[in-house]
A and B are shown apart, each in its own frame.
Chain A
């Protein structure tokens, strides 16, 4: 499979779906639509669907913005598995090492004046999921996020 076509690649097999995105603008939007349609076809709805979409957005946005700095095209692999009790999203990229599970909780500002816009993506992923785990394997970041149904 290659991520060099304009459209993202998606391979469905039963309750699993493998997406390959390129690190280009527009891939997030298309990936969100593919993910949503797959999950809806598998009967995922309500909070679980919302949480899966949020985790996908935050994880892919982080990869697109921070993982690569050499201007070359890279593939972002996203595997989605739907089980009766949970939806699991697994992200893999060959960008700079980044363990979101190790990032500290953001400081709660006392007021709007002391609030810093941004930096809440990982925090929201944690709060909307049941568990997150990270490994660096073979020069690739591997993040797995489980969402209860």
Chain B
């Protein structure tokens, strides 16, 4: 599981996840991901296009980080999920809680909106 952080403006941080968000994968990146998402008080957009697998631990992580961002008045947006990953996010009802959009452009629009 890999995590990259990229500045995409003064107000937005892009987090790029690559690999498997299974229980061991989430264990590895939970702390740096949560810290990165919180850093600088910026909105966070998360690129999921390189995530090949996600299960309930990934949902738990996204809800936890999303709650923390919302508590600070910042946005937390997911984008680029591959179809099977998107199906799991949908089954979990995550889209009703956190914006999930198709691509980076849509994510940045949502962050700016």
* Physical interaction between A and B: yes
Are B55 and A54 in touch, CB under 8 angstroms?
yes
Q: Which residues of A contact B23 (CB under 8 A)?
A: 28, 57, 61
A144 at the interface (CB under 8 A from B): no
**Is chain A's interface secondary structure helix, strand, loop, or mixed overall?**
helix
C-alpha spacing A108/B90, complex, angstroms:
12
Within 8 A of B (CB), among A116-144: 116-118, 120-121, 123-124, 127-128
Are B22 and A32 in touch, CB under 8 angstroms?
yes
Number of interface residues of B (CB under 8 A): 25
Pick the most buried of A53, A120, A127: most chain B CB atoms within 10 A of its CB: A120
* Interface size band for A: 20 to 34
Are B92 and A117 in touch, CB under 8 angstroms?
no
C-alpha spacing A29/B22, complex, angstroms:
9
Q: Which residues of B contact A120 (CB under 8 A)?
A: 56, 59-60, 92
C-alpha spacing A58/B22, complex, angstroms:
9
Chain A residues within 8 Å of B, Cβ to Cβ? 28-29, 32, 46-47, 50, 53-54, 57-58, 61, 108-109, 111-113, 115-118, 120-121, 123-124, 127-128
